[in-house]
Amino acid sequence: MYLPAVIGGLKITIKHFFKKKVTMQYPEEKWVVPEGYRGAPYLVKDQEGATKCVSCQLCEFVCPPKAIKIIPPGPAGQMADRTNAEKMPKEFEINMLRCIFCGFCQEVCPEEAIFLEKDYSLTGTSRAELIYNKEKLLALGGTHAGIQKWKHKAEEAKEQETFPVKV
């Protein structure tokens, strides 16, 4: 009764038995990360070295496992270090133990301040080491030009002299 399924499974087993075995020597050899891989989220800086995050907290609200924690600067907090931003976060943490690498934080960020890097080796000797603060996230993220999604919208708006009005 189950003979065809057993024979089919046996064919697959025998086929893989004669294939050449490949073992990757992990620390020395790294696997090539495929396109579209969603790795760890990191904060990035712009070309001038300024923090892109403006503490809007959208990434914190959209994060399904609540791995992101942002503390805004408050009324007497630190002013932003770039001209077109009102504020920057006082504290920014991502708990990598909770993060599910879904990419929602990257998609929702209006300033393109957070990107998923192709990092797959997150290790630490304690739980506290895997809670990344703002300085560590900025150091790991580096500088990123981004696609500047709002720049295109501003250019489109300037091209339109007046908005068409339907009567």
How many beta carbons lie within 10 A of that of residue 89, not counting itself? 23
H or E element, residue 71? strand 68-71
For range 102-121, the mean pLDDT: 89
Pairing between strand 91-95 and 114-116?
unpaired
Which one-letter amino acid corresponds to residue 31? W
At 161, is the pLDDT very low, low, confident or very high (cuts 50, 70, 90)? Answer: low
Is residue 23 pLDDT above 70, yes or no?
Answer: yes
Distance CA 136, CA 145 (A): 19
First to last CA, the chain: 74
The closest of 43, 36, 35, 45 to 105, measured between CA atoms, is 43
Q: What is the pLDDT of residue 82?
A: 66
